[in-house]
A and B are shown apart, each in its own frame.
Chain A
Amino acid sequence: MDHAATEQAALSRIAAAQDLDWLEGLRVEFLGKQGSISGLLKTLGGMSPEERQSEGPKIHALREAVTNALGDRKAALEGAALDARLASETIDLSLPAPEAARGSVHPVSQVMDEMAEIFADMGFAVATGPEIEDDWHNFTALNMPESHPARAMHDTFYFPDKNAEGREMLLRTHTSPVQIRTMLAVAKASPGGAPVRVIAPGRVYRSDSDATHTPMFHQIEGLVIDKGIHLGHLKWTLETFLKAYFEREDIVLRLRPSYFPFTEPSVEVDVGFTLVNGKRVLGGQDGWMELLGSGMVNRKVIAAGGFDPDQWQGFAFGVGVDRLAMLKYGMDDLRAFFDGDVRWLSHYGFAPLDVPTLSGGVGTAA
């Protein structure tokens, strides 16, 4: 028997198989129970040992060659079939993917988080108080008795209501009443007083409306009460805060004497700016812009907070949050802050993962 010829014939037929069914037919024909090569294998049983010695390897070689050829051909056909299927599954990936809505954090919230982060490092906690205040906390306790001319400067929104203590209710004109509430709470636990370091951010209200003033805006109050605190500490605190907030080392402050009933001495703080392409950029000292009011807390205010002014002294400051946001992030219209225009929010808002950290720098680059 010429196994070589059989093998040749089988291999060429396997190579000619065009699909898996065809190939399976050949496998049965050659290697099935009744298959031709299976038949050859069965003949080995009837051979003499000598014949088996010489024929056995040949028949086995034949079977192996055919088996391998079937396997190879099967792999080739399957590969081709897969290629064909994949080719038929081609899609246009230039089509748009499903859209996920992108949200944002309002600049005021972001900037408040930034400030909380910076001041936390300086040991300041965050305090809060009501926005609908009484005139005692908003004015009287802050050394603005009823006839005080400074009350008139505040453009106050009043309610027709009085509280149980007979105090007039109003919308707080500044975050300063939180000074009083904080000190009173501390004094309750520690009669006479104890060290205080807080910032108090929040909404404040003045009956004022133009391009740069809105009847509602945001302020952040700072209060430090301790022993031996003086104006130099105030200056350092503001410098340190502004350097961290604007992430610039060349922030320069100019202190000017001023007047606020709740501080004595009172200090208006200007910050130096540089003109870059006609725009004011904070840092340097080409010019000065008014930034915030501050001073050493008036003894009467310390006493109104339940602290002993002979023992405790400190400083306070108040600064516009919206203004700080505008100076850092470049918005120029305060009214837009409160409009809820999604185009503006998408542009000026912050990604939810822009969480301010000191290690990453509190600011978010454009």
Chain B
Amino acid sequence: MKFSLSWLKDHLDTTASVDEIAAKLNAIGLEVEGVENPADKLKGFRVARVLTAERHPNADKLQVLTVDAGDGQPLQVVCGAPNARAGLVGVLGLPGAVVPANGMVLKVAAVRSVESNGMMCSTRELELGEDHDGIIELPEDAPIGQAFADYHGADPVFDVAITPNRPDCMGVYGIARDLAAAGLGTLKPIVAPQIAGTFASPVDIRTEDAEGCPAFYGRTILGVTNGASPDWLQARLKSAGQRPISALVDITNYVMLTYGRPAHAYDRAKLTGAVVARRAKDGEGVTALNGKHYLLDHSMTVIADEAGVHDIAGIMGGEHSGCSDETRDVLLEIAYFDPVRIAQTGRTLNLTSDARGRFERGIDPQFLDTGLDLLTGLVLEICGGQASEVIRAGTPPSGTRQVHYEPTLAETLGGVAIPSAQQRTILESLGFSVVAVDSQDGEQWSVTAPGWRPDVDGAPDIVEEVIRIHGLDKVESVALPRADGVARPTATPAQKLERRLRRAAAARGNHEAVTWSFLPEADAAVFADSAVWTLANPISEDMKAMRPSLLPGLLAAVRRNLDRGAAGLRLFEIGRRYLRAENGASDERLSLAVVLAGEKTARGWATGKPATFDAYDAKAEALALLAEAGAPVDNLQVMGEAGGQFHPGQSATLRLGPKTVLARFGMLHPAVLKQFDIDAPVAVAELFLDAIPGKKGAASFARVHYAPPALQAVTRDFAFLVPADLPAGDLVRMVKGADKANIVAARLFDDFRGQGVPEGSKSLAIEVTLQPGEKSYAEADLKAIADKVTAAAAKLGAVLRG
């Protein structure tokens, strides 16, 4: 909402400065987004008289002027304007002034070898108009030497953000009322001319949609002369950022911007029969004033005559019946439309307008007659003509609301004690009426909110009114009550898990990335096992599908990094993957993904060539992080079916039991890398944190009892010949489980194929750690354990190598 200081002063009697007004607006919740003071731009420009004008010795089109800028000593100025002549009173820009139109800083300079001490300015150069045919010509009696800003009457313009709850402040008058309540002056009463009308309106009006248009008032004015509106009106509209159109249109806009009250003017010559507020018929259409055609339906209220629709009620008028310079007779419409229907219609048509913005927030339903009087008075004053009697169709709602209020609420909810007399004054100055209610229970009021405050519907609204005018800065900090002792832990197990894993993953050398939740559909599809969530209105096609996995987002980050020249990358992310729950809600599951791309180690003096990441690196990340997460990593099975996104021979899942997949890892499939445009091997590990079983029972700090055994552990090595396709992990598990009383660890240390190993077989060597209990092992004990190991291995077809 933009308005000028002089416009405000039409309604507010105040001596406050621009800065004081801006500060107060901010303090009462009318946020000032900017104050534009034209005087700032016109600093350094003065009213000046040309004393003499001579031909420039070196240029045909230039003149050398002597100019009196009020300093006594005439200044020499070079000027190219054709109208520059002795005796002309114009505007001189002095050295140091900045030309508003182009930002040029004026300085003393030689123009074709003649010194010039400033510039005589055109209207366009000062951004006061479009004229650039010559320099500004002021009246003869303009005071020489006066700052041009003062002479011109520069009028500062406020730009205020109006929150949606304050339709009353979408008019200058409402802002003036707020400022007056806040002590910044006196609100001037609205003076509307009483024009009775001397004849019945030749155009009849009715409302047939009592719900959408409860009240429709109007009158006809015959014999008007439309055309450009007067300068004062144009200046007002321009300060509000509006383009003047014609007097009749400008008047309706002016009333809207001043009082927050939209209205419409129809060219009577374009109307046929009675003008009626009704529901649109499905399929009916209208070309609106913005030149676009809108298809309407039965949910929308329109203003129509026998010929068709002339106005999308409360939103935008029709092109056909709008006023033009030829308009002679005009029908003024002022109506009350249901805010909800206006909002729905506007949304359906995707059509915004100043009128819609006000109607959907709620305008004062009691302002119909006053509004119509104001409009009529302005039309008669500016356009002439004869006004008919007013026709009133329907009845507006009262718009007032009663709220029960206890003045102590200012303190108990608002946090600041304000004497009730002061609260009453504030409310009354805002147009509320206050009536004390009999009560045994402290002071109780019945507060009636005025029709222009549709936002007020409860006691907290009254508190807000009182404290915002009293001053929010008077609210003192009060400490929240605090429980005794040291603050209790608050994090949930899931939160602790996430925090721990994040730092564990980073400690392992990985950088945490935060990538978009939404992906290109194609990227999401690669990693989706079921239908992904896809936005109806994405901001771009690249941000359309909710990620079913963290991997595609990380892969895109990998590509960007590789494109920037990175040789090796370790990235991870902890976040949600978005699945669908059966009831149509989302099923968001916490995941952790690590992406290892390209070089693991750069070429080195000790290590030689660069090494790239492989599937075992991914396995290491998966196991280490699962261990940090408290998963029983010793019990996990390495199984297949990591998914089609993976290299089929270099990927696996880590499962707890045959079904619960805690993680998958391995090398990505070359086809996936190709789709993501990545030209480097990529190993990944993806942990499904939601699948990790939580700790059972109450947490205890005491560990399971342990004392290091007195006897030293012994190790024995076993080498087995096994079928080449036997997973080594199966053999290790089997060996480890061969004698649980004695075997505490089994570690594979060699996988050999080649000389001495038959084709189709491989040799696996395992170091078994044995922990004696009470007494050391005798040879026979060791032999018995070794036999158990060999027998267990044999179940997998393993043969002890001689």
Q: Which of A's residues lie within 8 Å of B, judged by CB? A: 95-96, 98-106, 108-109, 113, 116, 119-126, 130-134, 147-150, 152-153, 157-165, 169, 171, 197, 203, 205, 207-209, 215-216, 224, 226, 228-237, 239-240, 254-259, 264-268, 296, 298-299, 313, 337-343, 345-346, 349, 351-353, 355
Contacts and interface: CB of A to CB of B under 8 A. Distances in A.
A157 B472 contact: no
A103 B505 contact: yes
Contact of A134 (B504, B556, B585): B585
Interface residues of B, number: 104
Nearest to A255: B472
B407 to A, nearest CB: 14
Contacts of A216: 516-518
B98 interface: no
B155 to A, nearest CB: 26
Contacts of B31: 256, 258, 268
A272 to B, nearest CB: 12
Contacts of A160: 534, 536
Interface string B501-544: 01111111111111111100000000000000111111100010
Most A C-beta atoms less than 10 A away, residue of B503, B512, B557, B607? B512
Interface in B404-433: 411-416
Nearest to A161: B584
A40 to B, nearest CB: 50
B490 interface: yes
Contacts of B27: 256-257
Contacts of B512: 103-106, 109, 345, 349
Contacts of A106: 512-514
A106 B510 CA distance: 11
Nearest to A158: B536
A119 to B, nearest CB: 8
Interface in B202-261: none
A131 B511 contact: no
A305 B388 CA distance: 55
Given A123-B483, A232-B475, A259-B163, A149 B343 contact: yes
B516 A259 contact: no
Nearest to A322: B514
B412 A230 contact: yes
B360 A147 contact: yes
B26 interface: yes
Contacts of A101: 508-510, 570
Given A131-B578, A158-B537, A237-B480, A349 B511 contact: yes
Contacts of B602: 99
B566 A342 contact: yes
B517 A163 contact: no
A202 B397 CA distance: 44
Contacts of A268: 31
Contact of B491 (A120, A169, A232, A265): A120
B414 to A, nearest CB: 5
Contact of A339 (B458, B560, B572): B560
14 contacts: A131-B586, A164-B585, A230-B414, A231-B467, A232-B475, A233-B479, A235-B478, A236-B479, A254-B473, A264-B464, A340-B556, A340-B557, A340-B560, A341-B564
B347 to A, nearest CB: 7
B28 A163 contact: no
B483 A159 contact: no
Given A125-B490, A147-B339, A130 B535 contact: no
B415 A232 contact: yes
Specify which of B513, B537, B556 lies most central, judged by the most chain A CB atoms within 10 Å of its CB: B513
A103 B510 contact: yes
Contacts of B515: 338, 340
Given A109-B512, A149-B164, A256-B29, A228 B412 contact: yes
A151 to B, nearest CB: 9
A101 B533 CA distance: 36
Contacts of B506: 103-105, 349, 351-352
A258 B558 CA distance: 44
Interface string B314-328: 000000000000000
Nearest to B492: A126
Given A131-B578, A233-B415, A265 B514 contact: no
A56 B601 CA distance: 73
Interface string B547-580: 0000001101110110010100111101110100
Contacts of A258: 29, 31, 163
Given A105-B506, A265-B468, A355-B503, A131 B588 contact: yes
A235 B539 CA distance: 36
B683 to A, nearest CB: 14
Contacts of A120: 487, 489-491
B572 to A, nearest CB: 8
A352 B507 contact: yes
Contact of A296 (B361, B413, B480, B534): B413
A104 B476 CA distance: 41
B191 to A, nearest CB: 30
A36 B421 CA distance: 127
A116 B164 CA distance: 33
Given A157-B538, A163-B583, A255-B472, A231 B414 contact: yes
Of the candidates B487, B511, B537, the one having the most CB atoms from chain A within 10 angstroms of its own CB is B511
Given A265-B467, A352-B503, A231 B560 contact: no
B546 interface: yes
Top 8 closest pairs, chain A to chain B, by CB: A101-B509, A340-B557, A257-B29, A232-B415, A259-B163, A132-B586, A265-B464, A163-B584
Nearest to B498: A109
B166 interface: yes
Contacts of A100: 509
A109 B502 CA distance: 9
Nearest to A346: B511
B546 A132 contact: yes
Interface string B194-206: 0000000000000
Interface string B603-625: 01111000000000000000000
Interface in B56-114: none
A341 B569 CA distance: 10
Contact of A209 (B490, B539, B607): B539
A233 B535 contact: no
Contact of A103 (B28, B553, B570): B570
Contacts of B564: 341, 343
Given A205-B517, A224-B480, A159 B415 contact: no
B495 A126 contact: yes
B165 interface: yes
A98 B509 contact: no
B629 to A, nearest CB: 16
A158 B584 contact: no
Contact of A256 (B472, B489, B517): B472
B241 to A, nearest CB: 20
A157 B505 CA distance: 32
A215 to B, nearest CB: 5
B475 A231 contact: yes
A102 B571 CA distance: 11
A103 B507 contact: yes
B696 interface: no
A105 B14 CA distance: 57
Nearest to B472: A255
Contacts of A257: 27-29, 464, 467-468, 472
Contacts of B489: 120
**In this complex, which of A152, A169, A226, A352 has the most chain B Cβ atoms within 10 angstroms of its Cβ?**
A352
B412 to A, nearest CB: 6
Given A164-B583, A254-B473, A259 B546 contact: no
Nearest to B590: A128
B460 interface: yes
A235 B415 contact: yes
Contacts of A121: 487
A105 B473 contact: no
